[in-house]
Amino acid sequence: MSKILIVDDEPFIRLLLEQTLEELEDEGVELITADNGETALDIIRSETPEIVFLDVMMPKMNGFDVCNMVKNELNISGVYIVLLTAKGQEFDKQKGTDAGADIYMTKPFNPDEVLEVARKILGL
């Protein structure tokens, strides 16, 4: 079973992403959520989701640090990280790329685009 981890400290954004991706549950995809970077990292280590939709500005551990830890320090393979953030400056995008993010999307995001990205990554 494929897994998608949704990480955002804003409950409304988590809910919006869950509602956007819930139709994938009918295709055997499990949705998991976390509200901070530390919890996200624990879940990534234990569950190894195929996709992580990861907010940048969060308590305990920011998304750049989580991404860097997964991609460059722990070298966990098979985890596709999509950074979702209000930080749309070129500097921030470069920081995301340096951390190892596969895609950098800015908020507000288009729910259809999020679903399309998930489908493409999972080959659905």
> pLDDT of 56-77, one tens digit each?
999 899 999 999 999 999 989 9
Tell me the CATH class for 2-122.
Answer: alpha beta
Contact 29, 71 (CB under 8 A): no
Q: Which residue has the tokens 């992580």?
A: 52
Whether pLDDT at 85 is above 90:
no
CA angle 90, 55, 117 (to 5 degrees): 80
What is the percent of the chain with per-residue pLDDT over 90, rounded to a whole number? 83
Residue 93's pLDDT is what?
A: 86
Residue 81's pLDDT is what?
A: 97
Between strands 2-7 and 29-34, the pairing is parallel
Q: Give the mean pLDDT of the chain.
A: 94
Residue 115's pLDDT is what?
A: 97
Whether pLDDT at 86 is above 90:
no
Average pLDDT, integer, range 41-54: 97
Whether pLDDT at 2 is above 90:
yes
Structure-token pair, residue 62: 């920011």
Distance separating alpha carbons of residues 33 and 115, to the nearest angstrom: 16
